[in-house]
Amino acid sequence: MKTDKMLAAGLVAVPLFFVTALTQAFTKDGFDITRHMISQLATGPLGWIQTANFIVTGALFAMVAVGLRRRMTDGIGRVWAPRSVGVFAAGLIGAGLFACDPIAGYPVGAAEVMTWHGTLHGVASGVAGLALLAFDIIVFRRLRAQGNTTAAAASLVAFAVFLVGPFTIPGLMSVTFAAASFLAWGWVAVFAAGLRAAPVSAPRAHAELVAH
């Protein structure tokens, strides 16, 4: 597949994931977006839809990682930016393969017990989150070194929002976490898409594409 198409895969992945998840969130009986995490959609009726949502989204971000590896041939982050996105993608796939445990009354009537697959879901999600934070810092350093302060600041904002955003509104972590994830995932998608058709030998041009 062409590198430019791989770099653009995140622009498909982010809206696909959140539109699919939110459509389920507002149509499934017993699910309350203010109390239940998006991951819990995989545990209820038609849970396979959310499972597939995680896996397909992870596969699309794996394509982004390959595109970044091909395009980022020099400069800060040329190795670890693609790898961090690859780890993020693997975490999403793992979160899909291992369903989380029922909690806070969803699915309705399900016993709230800790299971091995719920534990692995938490590990996969945690790894994905750490990889996202690493990506933001790596890209911040790359863009700052290139003199692109606007895009560097955007990466730092994405880092801060994903790190502290979920804890900003007590009692609504499910909502704030989803919003912070949307912004953080979106930054990965925008950065990667900004590298399309950029000359391989001109890293500064890459950053200018991102800024615009």
**pLDDT at residue 46 above 70?**
yes
Distance CA 106, CA 99 (A): 13
Residue 198 has a pLDDT of 52
How confident is the prediction for the chain on average, in pLDDT? Answer: 91
Of 140, 150, 131, 158, nearest to 64 (Cα)?
131
**158-192 pLDDT, tens per residue?**
999 999 999 988 889 999 999 999 999 999 999 99
Residue 109 has a pLDDT of 84
**Are 61 and 188 in contact, with CB atoms under 8 Å apart?**
yes
Whole-prediction pTM value? Answer: 0.90
**54-100 pLDDT, tens per residue?**
999 999 999 999 999 999 999 999 999 999 999 999 999 999 999 99
**4-16 pLDDT, tens per residue?**
999 999 999 999 9
Residue 111 has a pLDDT of 87
